Homo-oligomer: A and B are copies of this chain.
Amino acid sequence: MRADARRNYDKIVEVARVVFREQGYDASLDEVARRAGVGPGTLYRHFPKRENLIDAIMQVWVDSVEEAAEKALASEGSPHDLLMTWFTEYVRLISLHKGGPAKITSAMDDPDSPIRTKCQVLRTAGGRVVDRLRADGALRDDVDALQISRLVGGVATVADQADLGEDAVRPMLEVVADGLLR
C-alpha cells in the first residue's frame, strides 16, 4: 500500500469515527470524505460499502469486547449476576454509535456482511460466558449463544431507536436473564 494511500485511509477512519459519533452510522459518507480532505472517489475505493468503513472503525473495539467477557467471567457472582454483567457490557459496546445495535445484530445473520468478523468476536466472547453457565447447568437448553445475542441485541436496538437510558434497559435485561436461567 502506497504511503499516501495509507495516510488517506487512516485519516478517513479517524474522521469517520468522529462523524459517526456525532451523527450515528447513517451519517453522510460524502461529508466524511469532505471533512477528511479527500474526494468521494478515494473514500469509496478504500471502503466500497459503508460497512467496510464501520468495520475499520470497530478494529480497536475488538479488545474491549474480549476484556468485557473476561471481566464478567472473573467476577464471582451468581449466574444471574454473570449474565447481567455480560449483557450490560454487550449493550454498551454495540451501542457506542447510534444505529450500531441494529447494524451489528442484523449482521450476525448475514454471512456476507463486511463486519462479519467483528460479529464473530462478539459471538465467541458471548460463547465463553454461555459455555460457563452451561457447564454449571444454569442455562435452559433450548436456546444457544446466537439466540441470546439476538435477544440482547433486540433490547439494545429498541433502546437505541427510542433513545432509552440505561435505567430503562436494565429491567429488560433482567427479564431476559431470568428467562434464560432455570
Number of residues from A at the complex interface, CB < 8 A: 32
Which of A22-30, A45-53, A159-167 is found at the contact surface with chain B?
A159-167
Q: Establish whether residues A171 and B147, one from each chain, have CB atoms under 8 Å apart when the complex forms.
A: yes
Within A27-65, which residues are at the interface with B (CB < 8 Å)?
Answer: none
Report which of B159, B161, B176 forms a contact with A175, defined as CB distance below 8 A.
B176
Within A60-116, which residues are at the interface with B (CB < 8 Å)?
Answer: 102, 105-106, 108-110
Give residues in A with beta carbon < 8 Å to B.
Answer: 102, 105-106, 108-110, 140, 142-143, 147, 150-151, 153-155, 157-159, 161-164, 168, 171-172, 174-180
The residue of chain B having its C-beta at the shortest distance from the C-beta of A146 within the complex is B168
Give every chain B residue within 8 A of A143 (Cβ-Cβ): 171-172, 175
